[in-house]
Amino acid sequence: MANFTTGPATLPDVGTLSYNGCVFSPLFATEMSGKPIQDNANRTIKLMEYSVSVDGYVTLPAGATSINSTMDSLRRLLTARGGSLTYQGRGFDLVVGPVAGGLIAGTARDLAWGPVPELLEFQPLGGGRSAKVKWRVKTHIAEIAGGKPRSRKSRGNKLVPVKDGLLLQFNYETLVGYGEDGYSSLEIRGTLEIPLARNPLQTTRTLPHTADDFRWQVEDRIMDGIDLARFRVAKRNFSVSRDKRVLEWDFSMEERPYMDMPPECTIARGTYSVRPAKVGMGLCLWLCTLRATYTVRADSPRRVAWLAFLTMLKFRMDASWSGFIKKDEQNPRRRFFVRNLIPPPDPFTAPVTFWAALLRSMRKNPSTPESEPVKAWLIDFSFDEGMYLDSKTVTFSATWRLTTMFSHILLASGLWTKLPDTDRDGNNIWATSVRSVSGMQSWLPNRLDPKLDVIVDFGGQ
Amino acid sequence: MPFLHSNVVYGLPANDPAQVGKTNNDSDSIIEQAIGIPWSSNREASWVYFDCAVGVMLDSGIVVHNRLPQYKSSAFDTLASVALDDPKFDALAGPGVNVACRDQYTDIIQRMGHARYWFRLWGQALRVGYKIPIPGIKTIGGVPAIPYDKNPQWAYCGIAPGGNYSGVILWRAQWSLWYTTAVPPKNQTIPEADPSAHITGTSELPKEMQAPYSRADDNAKRTPTFDVPGIVVPK
């Protein structure tokens, strides 16, 4: 195709103008127009969009009686996207795309699947023996040198594909909210854009990579800064554009309440209800009901939910030691403080190991004096296992009877007591247990496979 | 499906037995071995309920001798104040029970003996873990109580139906014991106690109920100077 021209001309050739193998003769006048394209943050020029407008004449090849064959080739070549564009010798050299099958030194790669033909006008002259043709193509290039590619080989226990990445843009917007309860919510929305072009040839229909391959940059640059000891990630969306160059992402975080969720649980909700027992009126016999619903990480053992409930159940029931039933104990000077003296557990490792260790340390609640007997016993236990589509959750419920006078019900019921939320080294246990699934992915990476995406042309591959 | 198989992302074969996101690691160890759920190891707190009462019956020794009718009439006394099928039944505002008597008698009252007292102690209780002792009365009205066997005494203490709290027995008891006295009761003392409510009839009433004590939450940094002397802090 490199030999194809728009027809003979007697004028001297000045410079070179060609696109996708079509060489324009000196009978074409050109006009170059450049438009800086801002990034989404309107802070920088992410690329220059150049339009090359060509206006001239197609002439009759020697020995031909019509320009039909010339126009056939011209139409085919000049309407194809992603061809190599050479514009030289006019004081504004612009060479874009692979030339002669490869990208040579000094040429630029289009950054957005271009060059992009935008206009082809045809005006016949001389009974089909020549024509006036207007054509315009747009290309996107960077006028500044790219920075150093950023790469990442591994992170924690996650395997991250190594992908050097020059980004076209990376920016985000934030929203800080305070609910009527005073708790914070954070939202971050941003854009990651990468350059992509047909590579190495105009006829190449496959993708070397997609913007999704650079999802880790969102985690590196943004999500690593989320303090999971205070916030939990409530929503994450990663949207890849159809041209696979742009990754729009947004996620939101909610400030965590007073009580931490159990390790390995992405959601845990529940209630603790204390009320007077119905049998035997009065304010010394109580019923305490602990009910909680757990959603455990899909890649963690199901029984983590049970172990979390069992631990809390035992912990709250053990608090009943501080109830009193003898009159002489009502002396306020004998008021007991139920201090939470369960030792901080070892740093979080595997969930089952963690719970086993914590339960062992609670076998005898260290905050319970040997001389103080427990004043509670279990009278009801039930669980609801979500089935099929609801099998993400399981609910446990237990009710125990507690004997204590009104004055000690807050203490003996264990109100506001909670299991240790930091390990021996001061790290937040829940945050440690879910950090690997709170960033750019959960337990499933759900990565786009560039090999499964092809550019489909009419009659193409 | 344009997404990579999750196993492949992690360098594992797609058909690997360990599936990313599904397979978990669990040693299947018996974690709960020797982890106990507390039950009421405190005997005093083991009562579910204790419902006991002392009923008193009195024969005052008085006999009433009835006279013949003092009113000449075929009408009879009735407690009814209106006929059930009275068409104006719903419009009436009667006196309720009709206790007005048509007769004009005056019977003869005669003291035939001294007053006699009977006492019935009856009740039921439910208790977890420990058998229920059947209660009795030693003194009443300030004098010794003596069993009165014209009414049979009965009592039982057995396992309540289904009363198995994972190996802890739920005991249930009922009793009915009769007493009398050989000498006149001297005062108003009747034994009252409810071990499940942890109170007796002689308890001194408080001026007001003590408000529940609270504690610092587990995020609080306690200020030692606020500790009240005498507070027992478990170590």
Alpha carbon distance A322, A302 (integer Å):
33
Name the residue of chain A whose CA is nearest to B204's CA.
Answer: A327
A276: pLDDT strictly greater than 70? yes
Q: What is the mean pLDDT of residues B108-130?
A: 93
- In chain A, how many H helices and how many E strands? 6, 19
Average pLDDT over residues A62-85: 90
Structural tokens at position B135: 């209660």
Other beta carbons within 10 Å of A221: 15
Q: Which of the pair, A151 or B214, is modelled with greater confidence?
A: B214
Q: What is d(CA B63, CA B111) in angstroms, rounded to the nearest whole number?
A: 6
- Confidence grade of residue A85 (pLDDT, cut at 50, 70, 90): very high
Segments in A243-364 forming alpha helices (H): 303-318, 351-362
> B183 lies in a domain?
yes
B159 within a domain of the structure (yes/no): yes
ipTM score assigned to the predicted complex: 0.79
- Scanning B145-164 for CB atoms below 8 A from A yields none
Question: Cβ A299–B21 below 8 Å, yes or no?
Answer: yes
With beta carbons less than 8 A apart as the criterion, state whether B108 and B64 touch.
yes
pLDDT in tens, A168-209: 899 999 999 999 999 999 999 999 999 998 888 888 889 988
Under DSSP, the state recorded for B151 is S
- pLDDT above 60 for B225: no
- Confidence (pLDDT) at A101: 47
In a domain, B136, yes or no: yes
pLDDT digits (tens, 9 = 90+) for A283-324: 888 999 999 999 999 999 999 999 999 999 988 998 888 787
A350/chain B closest Cα distance in angstroms: 8
Q: What is the pLDDT of residues A112-146, one digit of tens each?
A: 999 999 999 999 988 888 999 999 999 999 887 66
What average pLDDT does the segment B4-13 reach? 90
SS3 B120: strand
Mean pLDDT of chain A: 85
Residue-wise pLDDT for B15-33, tens only, equals 999 999 999 888 888 888 8
Per-residue confidence band for A161, with pLDDT thresholds at 50, 70 and 90: very low
**Residue A411 belongs to what H/E stretch?**
helix A409-412
Which pTM value belongs to this model? 0.85
Please name the residues between 334 and 353 in chain A that touch chain B, using a CB distance below 8 Å: 334-341, 350, 352-353
Say whether residue B122 is in contact with chain A using an 8 A CB cutoff. no
Which residues from chain B sit within 8 angstroms of residue A339, using beta carbons? 215, 233-234
How many other β-carbons are positioned within 10 Å of the β-carbon of residue A36?
Answer: 11
Q: Would you tell me how many other CB atoms lie within 10 Å of the CB of residue A137? A: 25
Instruction: Give the separation between CA A292 and CA A312, rounded to whole angstroms.
Output: 10
Distance of alpha carbon A242 from its chain centroid, rounded?
17
CA distance B166 to chain A (A): 9
Examine residue B7 and state whether it is found in any structural domain, yes or no. no
Tell me which of A114-118, A163-167, A281-285, B183-187 is least confident. Answer: A163-167
Which domain does B142 fall in, by range? 43-60+119-198
Torsions phi, psi of A327, nearest 5?
-65, -35
Tokens encoding B56: 């008193």
Per-residue confidence band for B235, with pLDDT thresholds at 50, 70 and 90: very low
Mean of the pLDDT values across residues A396-407? 92
Q: Which of B35, B46, B214 minimises the CB distance to A363?
A: B35
The answer as to whether B166 is a domain residue is yes
Ramachandran sector of residue A402 (left: φ over 0; alpha: ψ -120 to 50; beta: rest): beta
Q: Any CB–CB contact under 8 A between A183 and chain B?
A: no
**Residue B83, domain member (yes or no):** no
pLDDT band (50, 70, 90) for residue B13: very high
SS3 assignment, position A181: coil
CB-CB contact of A315 with A430 (8 Å): no
Task: Return the number of other C-beta atoms located less than 10 Å from residue A385's C-beta.
Answer: 12
Given this model, what pLDDT does residue A288 score?
Answer: 97
User: Where exactly are the structural domains of chain A?
Assistant: 4-141, 154-256+442-451, 265-426
Asked if B31 and A352 come within 8 Å (Cβ–Cβ), the reply is: yes
Using CA atoms, how far apart are residues B85 and A372, in angstroms rounded to an integer? Answer: 69
**Number of domains present in the structure of chain B:** 1
A2-12 pLDDT, tens per residue?
A: 567 877 777 77
- The architecture that CATH gives domain A4-141 is Beta Barrel (2.40)
